[in-house]
Amino acid sequence: MRLLLDTHALLWWFTADPQLSASAAAAIADEANAVHVSAATAWEIATKQRLGKLDEVPHAAERFAELVAADGFLHLPVSYLHGLRAGGYVLAHRDPFDRMLAAQSELESMVLVTRDPAFAAFPVATLW
C-alpha cells in the first residue's frame, strides 16, 4: 500500500504520541507499505513553527529531512498537476495544505493517513 501522511500523523509518529491511532501506526510501521511525506507538509510545519504552534516538536522544520529519512519515508514533491488539482477542487475547503494533500493523494493513488474528517469531502481514500 502507498501511504501519504497528513502533517499531524507525521508529527505524532515522530513523537510517539498516543493520539496516533493503532491502525495508522501499524500501517506506517509495516515495511510492506511505502510511506510518503509531501513537500506541503514541510511547508506546513515550517509555517506552524514560525507562528509558535509546534512547541511539542522543536526543530521539526530544521530537522525535517533527517527525520523523514531516519524512518525510511519517501519525499513527495509538489508538481504543477498537484497544484492545478488542489486549486481546482470546487469544495469550499479553505486550508491550502489539506487541498494539496488531497490532490496528491488522489492523483498519486495513495491512501491518506489522517484523522481529519474534512477529507471525507474529497475523492481520496483515508486510513485512521
Domain ranges of the chain: 2-127
> In this structure, are residues 103 and 124 in contact, taking their beta carbons and an 8 Å threshold?
no
Tens digits of residue pLDDT in 47-98: 999 999 988 888 899 999 999 999 999 999 999 999 999 999 998 888 999 9
> In this structure, are residues 103 and 89 in contact, taking their beta carbons and an 8 Å threshold?
yes
Dihedral of CA atoms 118, 128, 71, 54 in degrees, nearest 10, equals 50
The reported pTM is 0.95
What's residue 42's pLDDT? 97
Q: Which residues contact 17 (CB under 8 A, 6 or more apart)?
A: 11
Query: How many other β-carbons are positioned within 10 Å of the β-carbon of residue 83?
Result: 13
pLDDT > 90? residue 18: yes
CATH pick for 2-127 out of 3.40.50.1010, 3.40.720.10, 3.40.50.2020, 3.30.110.60: 3.40.50.1010
